[in-house]
Structure 1
Amino acid sequence: MKTLFGLLSCGGFCLVPALGLADEAAIAERVASFEAAFNAGDAAGVAAHYSADAVIMPPDIATIHGREGAEALWTGFIDAGATDLDLTTVMLEVSGDHAHEMGTFAINVPDGNGGTMTAMGKYVIIWTQDDAGVWNLNWDIWNNDPAG
């Protein structure tokens, strides 16, 4: 990950670390808008964050492919009553037009008794930058932490 150390080690005038920081900021914005779309109940908006050839590997569900598959997946979660997605990036490293991110999530889901519970877990995302310079989720996998 490009850091302040990288900027300091070249006197603060390095173009490459500055570009890396811009990419990191752009990805952080995409993470925030993904979260906002989900929390607004906008499955199409969530799916728009994926590349056309995305591969999504949710827990206990067959692998999902592409934006249409992403929209169907997220529609299912939203329709089932999942709300209040909170994503936290733990690590992000950019390398050219690819980046990998590791993070944690919390989401409120129905508890089966008429209430809700908070599910928590971790995720790994491979981001790719398209020809227009937009960062998209290309590979997305997550799993839940044990309850308790």
Structure 2
Amino acid sequence: MGHFVKTIVAVIATSTVSFAHAGSAEDIAARVETFEAAFKSGDAAAVALHYTTDAALLAPDTARIDGRDAIQGLWQAYVDAGVVDLQLTTVDLEDLGNTANEIGTYTLTAPDGNGGMVQAGGKYIVVWKADDNGVWHLHWDIWNSTP
């Protein structure tokens, strides 16, 4: 009987952890929206605030970028280059409690180098982390373009 009670306690403890962020899908969706809005307004500092302070970003054709300040610099470079209309779409979201894994797609519009604009797109993976207040931040971010 003692083993049965320990098993029930373990199941209850695990269930409590699993539901610690029951609204994570909605909370992450809201964070994705504010991320897009910050980028569309040209506010790289606000974009960077969506990342953990020790985040790692793996952007195409660049070395790994570590930390919120360096990540802000990358997003500022995109803003300065004239990239606009960033649209993010979550395809899969796996809630792991205090972390979540997201797979998604993106589209954006960028200068084509000839005075015009071109639409581009791709896919991404983000590992999200919830802080002590339950606010979700991008912790690991990687993307690449779709041919």
Give the TM-score normalised by the residue count of structure 1: 0.85
Shifted more, 14-23 versus 69-78: the winner is 14-23
Match for 2:29: what amino acid?
A: A
1:78-114 deviation per Cα after TM superposition (whole angstroms, max 9, x unaligned): 0000000000000011111000000000000000000
Are residues 114 and 67 of structure 1, via their aligned partners in 2, closer, same or farther at CA, if it must alter by over 3 Å?
A: same
Per the alignment, residue 3 of structure 2 pairs with: none
Per the alignment, residue 75 of structure 1 pairs with: 76
Mapped to 1, the partners of 2:22 and 2:88 lie a distance apart of 20
Mapped to 2, the partners of 1:18 and 1:96 lie a distance apart of 7
Equivalences for residues 1-148 of structure 1 within 5 A: 21-146=22-147
Task: Note the C-alpha offset of 1:15.
Answer: 8.3
Match for 1:85: what amino acid?
A: L
Specify every segment of 5 or more residues in structure 2 that has no aligned partner in the other structure, as ranges: 1-14
> What secondary structure, in the 3-state scheme, does the structure 1 residue paired with 2:113 have?
coil
Specify every segment of 5 or more residues in structure 1 that has no aligned partner in the other structure, as ranges: 1-13
> What secondary structure, in the 3-state scheme, does the structure 2 residue paired with 1:92 have?
strand
Structure (1 or 2) with the larger CA radius of gyration? 2
**Aligned-pair Cα RMSD in Å:** 1.7
Identity of aligned residues (%): 50
Task: Note the C-alpha offset of 1:139.
Answer: 0.1
- The count of corresponding residues between Structure 1 and Structure 2 is 133
Mapped to 2, the partners of 1:95 and 1:113 lie a distance apart of 45
Task: Note the C-alpha offset of 1:119.
Answer: 0.8
Match for 1:53: what amino acid?
A: D
Task: Note the C-alpha offset of 1:20.
Answer: 5.2
- Following superposition, which runs of at least 4 residues in structure 1 exceed 4 angstroms of deviation? 14-21
Task: Note the C-alpha offset of 1:23.
Answer: 1.0
